Amino acid sequence: MVKFVSEDETQRLISHEAAFEPVRQALVAAASGDARVFPAVIARASEPQNTFSLKSGSTADLAGLKVGSFWPGNPAKGLPRHNSTIFLIDQDNGRIGAVIEASAVNAYRTAAADAVAAKALARPDSETLAVFGAGHQALYECVALARVLPLKRVLVVARDPAKAQRFAARLAERAGGPAVRVAEAEDACRAADVVVTATPSRAPLFDAGWIRPGTHVAGMGSDARGKQELPPGLFARARLFCDLPSQSVEIGEFQHVRDEIDRGALTLTAIGDVLEGRAPGRASADDITVFDSSGIALQDLYIGRFLLAAASEGRGVAA
């Protein structure tokens, strides 16, 4: 019997806080040595502009995949461009055990990795956030960070001034406490305790020299070859962390310093090892910490399991 959780239901069940624990578990699993992430498939659908992706993984007690899709014409029909569905494979018999529609969930899941890492790595008194990007994901990143840090202000950096203003207004409403204003990249970086990037950039968004000692920098946008948001010059001055080192050096921010990492000139630590106390995180208030999220299927599997359990508790699961 396949269990099914609908998009309507997962939208009711998800929240920033709800996503933190399953994503923390996924990051810990990713560092455990008993977790695997398989090569992503990027596929073209019937129409050339429509694409879908298959991202799969397994841990000691979970296996499955997420099918993501990108239909750029959807907004014209009042539908979201991105859709996601999580499939859990029953480890007792190999059959598909659960189908979980998780389109709205996806932004929470990605932002949760940022928040869990920032809680572990950023200075606990971090008050100023600089955000690069003014899209849907950037909004979720800022709101999630505001739940784990005592933010007083958010400085928004985006190329399109009108879009930046609209984003700032929406964020002020959603984040509650912090003051939000549009800023230039250099001013924002020089003032920030935390910098988060959530863009599709293919070149560094700021100068390494603009980052103060003590800052935490989170690169959320690099998830493919050729993508880049952070200046590699920053890395030699910083402590480096990521969700999954083997993937981060392939498609994440650290693809651009893979040689240095391979030969030991730079050290990259899985954040799960920090969360479990197996590796040091920030050692002093002057450390610069960098976290790269390349996005791992394990986050989807753990979020899927949480949603399935929450749905089963609250009401019957359609089959």
As annotated, the active-site residues are 66
Q: Least distance in Å: CB of 166 to a copy of itself?
A: 26
What does each C-alpha distance from 93 to 63, 88, 89, 97, 282 come to in angstroms? 12, 12, 8, 9, 43
Site mask, a copy of itself, residues 18-57, x = CB under 8 A? Answer: ------------------x-xx-xxxxxxx--x-x-x-xx
Tell me which of 10, 25, 69, 106 binds a copy of itself, using CB under 8 A. 69
Closest to a copy of itself by CB, 34 vs 173, is 34
Closest to a copy of itself by CB, 79 vs 169, is 79
Tell me which of 33, 76, 77, 283 binds a copy of itself, using CB under 8 A. 77
**∠ CA(106), CA(273), CA(195), 5° rounding?**
55
Closest to a copy of itself by CB, 88 vs 290, is 88
Burial of 62 from C-beta contacts in 10 A (0-12 / 13-18 / 19+): buried
Contact between residue 300 and residue 55 where contact means Cβ atoms under 8 Å apart:
yes
What does each C-alpha distance from 272 to 26, 59, 233, 255, 313 come to in angstroms? 8, 14, 25, 20, 29
Closest to a copy of itself by CB, 60 vs 179, is 60
Q: Least distance in Å: CB of 6 to a copy of itself?
A: 8
Q: Least distance in Å: CB of 45 to a copy of itself?
A: 4
Tell me which of 63, 138, 144, 185 binds a copy of itself, using CB under 8 A. 63
Distance of CA 3 to the CA centre of its chain: 27
Three-class SS state of 81: coil
Closest to a copy of itself by CB, 35 vs 138, is 35
Considering only residues 258 through 287, tell me which ones interact with a copy of itself, judged by CB under 8 A. Answer: none
Residue 136 near a copy of itself by CB under 8 A: no
Size of the site for a copy of itself (CB under 8 A): 46
Distance of CA 1 to the CA centre of its chain: 32
Of 9-17, 20-28, 60-68, 185-193, the segment contacting a copy of itself by CB under 8 A is 60-68
Considering only residues 195 through 254, tell me which ones interact with a copy of itself, judged by CB under 8 A. Answer: none
Helices (H) and strands (E) in the chain, counts: 10, 15
Nearest to 117 by CA among 249, 245, 24: 24
Contact between residue 116 and residue 275 where contact means Cβ atoms under 8 Å apart:
yes
Please state, in angstroms and rounded to a whole number, the distance separating the CA atoms of residues 225 and 249. Answer: 10
Considering only residues 85 through 114, tell me which ones interact with a copy of itself, judged by CB under 8 A. Answer: 85, 87, 89, 91, 93-96, 99, 101, 103
Say how many C-beta atoms besides its own lie within 10 A of residue 105's C-beta.
24
Closest to a copy of itself by CB, 4 vs 153, is 4
Q: Least distance in Å: CB of 229 to a copy of itself?
A: 26
Residue 83 near a copy of itself by CB under 8 A: yes
Please state, in angstroms and rounded to a whole number, the distance separating the CA atoms of residues 268 and 93. Answer: 37
CA 162, 166, 172, 174 torsion: positive or negative? negative
Residue 59 near a copy of itself by CB under 8 A: yes
Residue 309 near a copy of itself by CB under 8 A: no
Please state, in angstroms and rounded to a whole number, the distance separating the CA atoms of residues 32 and 17. Answer: 24
Report the interface residues with a copy of itself, using CB under 8 A.
2, 4, 6, 36, 38-39, 41-47, 50, 52, 54, 56-63, 65, 67, 69-71, 74, 77, 79, 83, 85, 87, 89, 91, 93-96, 99, 101, 103, 318-319
